[in-house]
A = this chain, B = another copy of it.
Amino acid sequence: MAKAQPSAAALDTVDRRILSELADNPELTNKALATRLGLAESTCAYRVRALRDNGVIVGRRLDVDASSLGYPLQALIKVRLGSHSKEHVERLYDDLAATPGVIQAFHVAGADDFYLHVAVEDAEALRDFVLHHVTVYRVVRQTETQLVFDRREGPGVLPRETR
């Protein structure tokens, strides 16, 4: 999570509309975006750039279908640690988050827990993943694996356009 600048510049209505539109359709060209909002292209480009420079827009991510690549099975693996030094925990988190197959990793409050969202080939690969990439660490006290039937993107913090 990027340490946010203390709430950066306040966003006006136009900024919010830009974000909404781009959230709905991230592939919009600047020209199309400007047209939708009734702005000049230059103005629109300027605002978008400013949003980037202020860290509001972090970037874009490629959305790849794991199934098509031969990893049709997804799981959420809860990793519970014993209590340990901050450095150890951070180090392990780094390693786990960088493990191939991991789509995303969460470090959550509580009993030093991580959640790993992974994609694998099949059930056997899932077992192997847990055994070879998670429980190999001494610090890991217990794991709990749940198959992911479905994952969905929510609206997030940008309510759908209300026009």
| Residues of chain A at interface, number, CB under 8 A | 69
On whether the beta carbons of B105 and A151 are closer than 8 Å, the reply is yes
Complex Cα distance, B23 from A4, in Å, reads 24
Q: Cβ of A102 and Cβ of B158 under 8 Å apart?
A: no
- Is A159's CB within 8 Å of the partner chain B? yes
Find the B residue at minimum CB distance from A111. Answer: B146
A54 to B65, CA, bound (A): 10
Asked, given contacts A55-B65, A58-B65, whether A146 binds B100 with beta carbons under 8 Å apart, the answer is no
A156 within 8 A of B: yes
Other A-B contacts than A100-B157, A102-B154, 7 sampled, CB-CB below 8 A, are A1-B150, A7-B67, A27-B60, A56-B69, A97-B154, A101-B155, A108-B149
> Does A38 reach chain B (CB closer than 8 Å)?
no
